[in-house]
Structure 1
Amino acid sequence: MRRPVNVKRTLFITHRWAGILLCLFMALWFVSGVVMMYVGYPKLSMAERLRVLPALDPTSCCLPVGSVIGALPAGDSPRTVRLTSIGGLPHYVVGLSKNRELAIDGRSGTPVAAVDAKFALKSAAAFASPAEARYRDLVDEDAWTHSKALDGHRPLHRVDIDDEARTLLYVSGRTGEVVRRASATERQWGWIGAWLHWLYPFRGGAVDRWWTEIIIYTSLAGALLGVTGLVSGILRWRRRPYPHGSRSPYRDWLMRWHHWLGLAFGLLLLTWIVSGLLSVNPWQVFDSGAPRPQLAKLVLVTDGQHDETRRALHCFNAAGLQVRELEWRPMGGETFVLARDGAGRGRLQGASADCAPFEAHELDALRAAGESMLPDARVSGARLQSAYDWYYYDRATHSMTGHVGRPLPVLVLEFDDPAASWLYLDPKTGALVQRLDDHLRVKRWLFALLHSWDWKPLLDRRPLWDALLILGSVGGLLVSLSGAVLGWRRLRRQ
């Protein structure tokens, strides 16, 4: 006759062995999380890039923007076009399908076919001045370039800068642009920060293809550890003290502290583990199936009669804007030129209209453009948002989403489609800066709020946010370390 399963004992044994396997691993997660509060994964923001670029000279720059069409590969059409400086010289950078980019010399119209070490050093010089730039090597991917956003730029040239920050620059092997900047501080702290927290030891090697699955199942195991520990702790706590005078059954001081710490921080630890799991969108639980917004196609004048480029530069310079970069943007069936200066300030100009730069699009025109992005749905609500809220907010530059611009004000359009889509449109550029649907709004609560505590009252009251997150992390660290020591004792006895 089979003996009945002892549920309590099974629970305790499961927690014990899960802890032996995972406690040290969990401790590293808490330490790395605190590091990431202050030192993020290396990136290059638009502000950093624009700040070092030279101003575009309207008297010597450039071929008309329409001429870039003839330099594109057969069958390709431009999705985005920027005029910027690479290696101190004007270049058009054309965005193509499948995350590809092509750089075209702004003076000769010749596509950049290959980026060698000499080209990479010349491009990095703008970011190095007055320090010296030294070429290191060519890599496809390393510890600081795992981002998918860089896939269209690989391989990457690495250039060391002899500045105070001991900067390491990454130069695109496709366009020659500097695409990432990593200081010595970011690299040194990054090993015990983002590199550990995101399990990047499993990226770029033989198990790279299973990186997402490793995160999912490690997190599930951590959640099992948290649930069994929390339930076990509650079951073993008594309202009336045990004979030895404590409400915890354990006489050993370390066991007793592990019990009390687990009761105090167990629920918080469990929410952090589960929300971390949700960050990778396991099994596509946050995919609503809603249609993607249909962005307008870019149309450029190619008759060779209109020099939109020089005309736009003259117009913006006459308006007092020292242009570092031009970008051609479609909206509402028209094409506009967006100019940015070294401080990131922008002005707009109709591509073929009179010379009259302006600050922002009319809201009616912007709304009409937004409505066309979801043609099968109707707008059920519209508002001009001038302050951050639960779903639209800014973060520090070094944080995970800090490099994503969140301008204000924004025009918010709410649609009546099954997924209840919201589109956020920037009047100053005409760009779609954020899209939310019912699934992504849930993710905002279950991931961003529970994992990073992106709660606006806390974000606005630092260092209260810092103190609470550090307190929770220290609690989690003590639970994990005490569990690791107890597990080591158990293994030695075995």
Structure 2
Amino acid sequence: MRVLTLLHRWWGVMFCLLFAMWFASGIAMHFVPFPSSSETDRFAALLPIDPDRVGHGPAEAVAASGIAEVLRVRLVGRSDGPIYLISGPSAFRTLRAGDLADGAVISTRTALDIASGYARARGLDTARAHAGEPIAFDQWSVSGAFDSDRPLYRVAFDDISGTELYVASTTGDVVLVTTQRARALNYIGSIAHWIYPTALRHHLQAWTSLMWWLSLLAWIGAGFGVVIGLTRLDVRNRGATAPYRGLQAWHYRFGLVCAPFVLGFAFSGWLSMDDGRWLKGRDARADARSIAGTADWSSLSPGEGRGAGVKEIEWFAFGGNIYRRERASPEQQRLYETSPNITLLDGGLLRAGEIDHAIGHLAAGCAPASIIATSDNSAVKSRMPDAPIFRAICGDTWFEIDGASGALLDRLNAPQRAYRRLFEGLHTLRFWPLTSHPLLRTILIVALCGCGFAFSLTGVVIGMQRLLISLRSFSRSKTRVP
């Protein structure tokens, strides 16, 4: 026990300040999340497709792309004309619908025009809008989620909110919008919590390794403390009375109260940085190809791309068939099956039978697909609000498919499902019934993080006191005359 106490003491000197930062920043993160891409923002920058400027149909665009396995084709209305976005499992092309020339954004002027369309939709002043040369990444776009969009044009409006948006050079999509308030609060929230400075986060392997080891060591150190606390409580047989005095007594009491949360928080944080060390899964791109099946893109008629009054038309391969979705807003769509005849689907969404047919291309003996209940907060969400997510269970593996777009959103084996539940439950308290009572969940998060912060802060003070005592003792021993 003496060795364990010594380890906990000096472990605490190193990690209590880190714990205090994690708990304080966790409260900030709950109220102001890190800026991320938004379907609403992307749509705000789009214009209605002008049919007169669509010179070629999607079949011609697919042929011109040179992509062997096309899974999706999007036609969007952009400020410089309608654009085709053709994607496969590992390839992507942007072509102008008028002449099938390269449609990537290559000038600041075009990026500003796209940003102006967003500004008009949002009622922002564009008089002082400006953009520099395209950037590879910055603090807000360093995540790998933006790799397919780089380089990015960052457009600043110099408005009262300090709005800045990012235009993908590859597609022309508005992929990120930030404000001065969100940026400032995230420095004390997500950036502190994740230890997320750009120079470090840009080196993904170094960053994930650092966070993995820090959270593992922090969890072990907290475990030492719990063992010591419970042993002292039992040996002295004094109930909940602290076997210490002063600040150490408060640290002891906070530790006993907060121990389950602190251990769960540290453990789930460590799990979140797994990065395939233990929870390796199969590459979902192969499954996406199987679900799509073999689609005959040449069967699409030249007039397919001449829809009026919509901002985006998307064709996607699903179960060997091609579907067309027309969207005038992020919240609504019309969905058609294009073969053998063009058929409008009721409700504008895929049905369970079509999901089963597509899954049949992937595996045999799967259970019938069913819509995931809204109370299942561990499931991923569709980019279209309130669209159903279907779950198909094939043996040990779950496949979650977007009922609006046919996209394979997630593929989970048993360990991955356990991880998701553990992380969601232990790190963010995202489990039923708290998810049905957001105010109660918020109160609990703030209370538990506050308790953890107070507990960690007492450890910081005790650790600093112990460190100063040790330094003074060392200094006296060095100056003592023999």
Shorter-normalised TM range: 0.7 to 0.9
Corresponding residue of 2:179? 183
Is the CA contact 1:328–1:337 (under 8 Å) kept in the aligned structure 2?
A: yes
1:249 corresponds, among 235, 240, 243, to 243
Counterparts of 1:386-401 in structure 2 under 5 Å?
386-389=373-376, 391-392=378-379
Tell whether the 8 Å contact from 1:203 to 1:211 is kept in structure 2 after alignment: no
Letter in 1 for 2:359: G
Sort the Cα spacing of 1:239 and 1:121 in 2 relative to 1 into closer, same or farther, 3 A. Answer: same
Which residue of 2 is the match for residue 83 of structure 1?
Answer: 75
Q: Does 1:111 align with 2:107?
A: no
Q: Cα distance 1:270–1:431, how it changes in 2: closer, same or farther (>3 A)? A: same
Q: Deviations over 1:232-286 (max 9, x none)?
A: 11222368688xx9932322x1111011111110221011001011112255322
Distance 1:97-1:390 versus aligned 2 partners, 3 A rule: closer
- Segment drifting more, 193-202 vs 233-242: 233-242
Q: Is the contact made by 1:265 and 1:475 (CA closer than 8 Å) also made in structure 2?
A: yes
1:213 to 2:209 alignment: yes
- Of 101-110 and 425-434, more deviation after overlay is shown by 425-434
The partner residue of 2:349 within 356, 360, 368 is 360
Relative to the length of structure 2, the TM-score reads 0.87
Q: From the superposition, tell whether residues 249 and 350 of structure 1 become closer, same or farther in structure 2 (CA, over 3 Å).
A: closer
Deviation of 1:423 after TM superposition, in Å, equals 2.2
In the alignment, the residues of structure 2 paired with residue 158 and residue 288 of structure 1 have an alpha-carbon distance, to the nearest angstrom, of: 35
Structure 1, 233-242 or 109-118: larger mean CA deviation? 233-242
- Which of 129-138 and 458-467 deviates more? 129-138
Deviations 1:198-224, CA, capped at 9 Å, x for gaps: 221275478553111101110111011
Q: Distance in 1 between matches of 2:344 and 2:282?
A: 40
Q: Which amino acid aligns with 1:468?
A: L
Of 116, 120, 123, 1:125 maps to 116
Q: Which one of 32, 37, 44 corresponds to residue 39 of structure 1?
A: 32
Structure 1 residues 342 and 288 mapped into 2: Cα distance closer, same or farther (>3 Å)?
A: closer
Q: 8 Å contact 1:96–1:102 — kept in the other structure?
A: no
Give the AA of the match of 2:317: P
Which of 259, 266, 269 is 2:259 aligned to? 266
Structure with greater helix percent: 2
Specify whether residues 367 and 305 from structure 1 end up closer, same or farther in structure 2 by C-alpha distance, changes over 3 A only: closer
Aligned in 2, Cα 1:81/1:288: closer, same or farther, shift over 3 Å? closer
Distance in 2 separating the partners of 1:37 and 1:367: 38
Letter aligned with residue 321 of structure 2: E
1:373 aligns with 2:349: no
Q: Which moved more, 1:201-210 or 1:40-49?
A: 201-210
Q: Which runs of 5+ in 2 are unaligned?
A: 471-482
Matched residue type, 2:393: E
Cα 1:62–1:167 shift into 2, 3 Å? farther
CA 1:105–1:20: 2 relative to 1, 3 Å: same
Give the TM-score normalised by structure 1: 0.85
Deviation at 1:405, TM superposition (A): 5.6
- What is the CA-CA distance between 1:488 and the residue it aligns to? 1.0
- AA matched with 1:332: G
CA RMSD of aligned residues (A): 2.8
Partner of 1:30: 23
Question: What is the CA-CA distance between 1:364 and the residue it aligns to?
Answer: 2.2
- Give 1:104's aligned amino acid: L
Q: Is 1:138 the counterpart of 2:127 in the alignment?
A: no
In the alignment, the residues of structure 2 paired with residue 140 and residue 410 of structure 1 have an alpha-carbon distance, to the nearest angstrom, of 34
How many residue pairs get aligned? The number is 460
1:456 counterpart SS class: coil
Secondary structure of the corresponding residue to residue 479 of structure 1: helix
Rate the CA distance shift 1:172–1:381 in 2: closer, same or farther, 3 A. closer
AA aligned opposite 1:486:
I
Structure 1 gaps of 5+ residues are: 1-7, 395-402
Correspondence for 1:223: 219
Partner of 1:309: 305
2:146 aligned residue: 150
2:58–2:302: 8 Å Cα contact kept in structure 1? Answer: no
TM-aligned CA deviation for residue 35 of structure 1? 1.1
Worse overlay, 301-310 or 324-333 = 301-310
Question: Counterpart of 2:367 in 1: which secondary structure?
Answer: strand
Q: Tell me whether 1:336 sits opposite 2:323 in the alignment.
A: yes
Number of the residue aligned with 2:333: 346
Relative distance call for 1:13 and 1:207 in structure 2 (3 A) is farther
Q: Secondary structure at the match of 2:32?
A: coil
The Cα offsets for residues 290-339 of structure 1, whole Å up to 9 and x where unpaired, read as: 985223257464489633212xx1xxx5xxxx311111111222111111
1:435, CA displacement in angstroms?
2.8
What does residue 474 of structure 2 align with?
none
